[in-house]
């Protein structure tokens, strides 16, 4: 994979050769003895990654399917949900919840800021919320939410409210201690910090939330995403027994399994530290270039990605193609209020390995591209 442009966006991220190799397998039955333990072990390793004894789900789909699964299984029509909205993905999660009849209240914060735990506490006093959702890393702003502090506020003011974390851009790069912090749902996808190709919707659900799901009064308004169908499947694979509801993405699961094995072998603490180091380097380089970050403070900036404003007079069509010509793919803006004004760099997974050139190559591509733009304007 040496001759491709580095994919330094906030997902999909660079894949390890072993992860790709794991997909290059012959046709394999989803109930074959060499596949069942692969899915079973992936379920077990996911618990280690999230520090939870909860119920993992690994299902064909993308991160978005995690929103549908949360909404259709845990929320009943007419119930209130509080969405901590720090950008694009808060809007979208809210839309998904409303599709299933939830009454959504948004806790919106200005661009670049993180949800405010005391504001959340005040909102929770206004009515009974079935759940609160928090985007852990808002991929549209590079903001890192303090999910531990928000979960603490929820426990104090409204302990029955389920705490749901959109960790699509944080699982595998940011610390999440699901059980210790009292988080009920973490949803993610294979292609961001978990370092596998896109194709899998991945989540973990607390025992308490499974209880809420089982006690619901109205039918689940979805077919494929219904946990009644998936719980026995996950339990069977974990018990190393064949089972079938809808064919799993066998090759994607092989890839995820390989990536999870690498993550667990590296150790979560070491992985979080590696992401912090890579992030520091990228953010320092941006500061050295006089560039301003979208997050309003480093204390709430993500460690797996960086959102950066273009310097005065530079636009996406100047910078991104130049960086690509230097071998690095970066992403444009996504937050509607500022989309043309900033760009995004991902630095997750194997790209944080100091033995790999990815981070330095990205910084160099940025430096050289900006210098070329400046030279052309003079
Ligand atoms: C990427 C992303 C999603 C959507 O995931 P898909 O895999 O594209 O469906 C949701 N939330 C966040 C925070 C994301 O970064």
pLDDT, one tens digit for every residue, the chain (378 residues): 557 999 999 999 999 999 999 999 999 999 999 999 999 999 999 999 999 999 999 999 999 999 999 999 999 999 999 999 999 999 999 999 999 999 999 999 999 999 999 999 999 999 999 999 999 999 999 999 999 999 999 999 999 999 999 999 999 999 999 999 999 999 999 999 999 999 999 999 999 999 999 999 999 999 999 999 999 999 999 999 999 999 999 999 999 999 999 999 999 999 999 999 999 999 999 999 999 999 999 999 999 999 999 999 898 899 999 999 999 999 999 999 999 999 999 999 999 999 999 999 999 999 999 999 999 987
Q: What are phi and psi of 105, to 5 degrees?
A: -110, 130
Could you tell me the CA-to-CA distances from 245 to 29, 62, 223, 242, 248 in Å, in that order? 14, 18, 11, 11, 9
Residue 351 contacts residue 274 (beta carbons within 8 Å): no
Angle at 320 between CA 256 and CA 277, to 5 degrees: 50
CATH number of this structure's domain 6-12+268-377, picked from the four choices 3.30.450.80, 3.30.9.10, 3.90.78.10, 3.90.1150.10 = 3.90.1150.10
Q: Which residues' Cβ are closer than 6 Å to ligand 1?
A: 11, 62-64, 89, 135, 139, 166, 168-169, 189
Q: What is the pLDDT of residue 2?
A: 55
Q: What is the pLDDT of residue 377?
A: 85
The structural domains of the chain, with segments of one domain joined by +, span: 6-12+268-377, 17-264
Overall pTM surpassing 0.95 (yes/no) = yes
Dist. CA 188 → ligand 1 center (Å): 7
Residue nearest to atom 11 of ligand 1 (CA): 168
Residue 344 assigned ligand-binding role: yes
Q: What is the pLDDT of residue 366?
A: 98
* Exposure string over 208-244, b if 16+ CB within 10 A, otherwise e: ebbebbeeeeeebbbeebbbeebbebbebbbeeeebe
Pocket test of ligand 1: the residue of 86, 168, 196 to mutate, having most ligand atoms within 8 Å of its CB, is 168
CATH number of this structure's domain 17-264, picked from the four choices 3.40.50.1220, 3.40.50.300, 3.10.580.10, 3.40.640.10 = 3.40.640.10
């Amino acid at each position: 994979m040496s001759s491709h442009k580095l994919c330094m966006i906030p997902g999909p991220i660079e894949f390890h050769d072993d992860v790709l190799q794991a997909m290059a397998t012959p046709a394999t039955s989803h109930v074959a003895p060499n596949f069942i333990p692969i899915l079973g072990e992936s379920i077990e390793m996911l618990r280690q990654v999230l520090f939870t004894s909860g119920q993992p789900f690994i299902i064909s789909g993308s991160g978005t399917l995690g929103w549908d699964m949360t909404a259709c299984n845990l929320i009943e029509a007419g119930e209130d949900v509080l969405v901590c909205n720090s950008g694009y993905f808060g809007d979208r999660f809210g839309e998904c919840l409303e599709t299933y009849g939830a009454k959504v209240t948004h806790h919106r914060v200005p661009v670049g800021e993180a949800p405010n735990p005391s504001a959340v506490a005040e909102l929770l006093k206004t009515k009974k919320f079935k759940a609160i959702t928090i985007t852990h890393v808002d991929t549209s702003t590079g903001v890192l939410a303090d999910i531990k502090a928000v979960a603490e506020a929820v426990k104090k003011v409204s302990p029955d409210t389920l705490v749901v974390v959109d960790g699509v851009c944080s699982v595998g790069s940011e610390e999440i201690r699901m059980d210790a912090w009292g988080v009920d749902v973490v949803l993610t996808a294979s292609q961001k910090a978990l370092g596998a190709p896109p194709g899998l919707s991945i989540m973990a659900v607390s025992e308490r939330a499974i209880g809420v799901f089982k006690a619901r009064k109205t039918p689940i308004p979805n077919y494929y995403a219904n946990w009644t169908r998936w719980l026995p499947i996950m339990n069977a694979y974990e018990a190393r027994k064949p089972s079938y509801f809808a064919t799993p993405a066998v090759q994607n699961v092989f890839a995820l399994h390989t990536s999870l094995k690498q993550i667990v072998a590296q150790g979560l603490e070491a992985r979080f530290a590696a992401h912090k180091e890579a992030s520091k380097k990228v953010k320092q380089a941006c500061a050295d270039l006089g560039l301003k970050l979208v997050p309003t403070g480093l204390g709430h900036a993500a460690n797996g990605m960086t959102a950066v404003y273009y310097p005065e007079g530079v636009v996406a069509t100047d910078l991104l193609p130049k960086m690509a010509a230097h071998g690095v793919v970066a992403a444009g803006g996504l937050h509607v209020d500022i989309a043309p004004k900033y760009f995004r760099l991902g630095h997750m997974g194997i790209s944080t390995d100091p033995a790999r050139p990815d981070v330095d190559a990205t910084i160099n591509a940025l430096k050289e591209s900006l210098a070329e733009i400046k030279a052309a304007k003079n």
